[in-house]
Amino acid sequence: MGVRLQKYLADAGVASRRRCEELIISGLVKVNGEVASIGMSVEEGDLVEYQGKPVKAQGERVVFAFNKPRNVICTADANEDRVRVVDYFKELPYRLYTVGRLDYDSEGLIFVTNDGDFADKLTHPRYQKQKTYRALCEGSFTEAELSSLRKGIMLDDGMTAPADVRLAHTYGGRSEVYITIHEGRNRQVRRMLAAVGHSTLRLRRVAIGSVELRGLKQGEWRRLEKAEIDALLKTEPEQSRQ
């Protein structure tokens, strides 16, 4: 009995299953020398290649918490000439990729894995994992601005869901705020803050669900324990919207 090609690629640590489907559609995957297509299955003995390199199934599945520095990118593309998150793991015997993204100029917590099932589940909308950011911004916040962020902000791609917002400090013409959201739009926190008149000077993700950044210096990682992974993959109590 064959295995769906996108599942085979995900289990081999190439990317999440949905991302592997995109790679197949893009013509980057071959099976037995022929460009693959969606719907194909592979069997034992088939030669599967991604970007010209053989892809082999991996045994142990792992998930790491990583503190991404600024100016490090999340892609696992081997042709990229900038520093990648996966470059910090090159001594490990796994083919890894990031779950979700952090912008080039943002920093903080991101998960790195070879587990396609974990990646698919964690990024699926039904899980709605809360993500907490600490933002350093220009200016002081009014109560009206904080209230607007909490209720939801109209952006060019629609209304955001309500956010949990807490003012941490205001000093020297700058403010630090904690913002917790469950959505994952492109540069969402920066755009929300800009919508109420505040430029973001530094943005750091400090928690995803129940996993926190604390204890990890920039560029450091730790392996998640099974109990932490199980907690992340639960739909309760984070299932309801904020």
Tens digit of pLDDT for each residue in 76-107? 777 778 999 999 999 998 888 898 889 999 99
Report which of 125, 241, 135, 237 is spatially closest to residue 179, judged by C-alpha positions.
135
* Residue 103 annotated to the active site: yes
Q: How far is Cα 3 from Cα 10, in angstroms, rounded to an integer?
A: 11
Catalytic choice (103, 117, 120, 164): 103
Written as one letter, the residue type at 241 is R
Q: Would you state the structure tokens that stand for residue 217, as one six-digit string?
A: 């210096």
What pLDDT does 8 receive? 87
pTM value is 0.80
Q: How far is Cα 128 from Cα 81, in angstroms, rounded to an integer?
A: 33
Strands 97-99, 107-113: parallel, antiparallel or unpaired by DSSP?
antiparallel
Q: What is the DSSP letter of 200?
A: E
Tens digit of pLDDT for each residue in 181-239? 988 888 999 999 999 999 999 999 999 999 999 889 999 999 999 999 999 988 654 44
- Mean pLDDT (the chain, rounded): 89
Report which of 86, 25, 23, 74 is spatially closest to residue 53, judged by C-alpha positions.
23
Contacts of 207 (CB under 8 A, 6+ apart): 109, 130, 131, 132, 180, 213
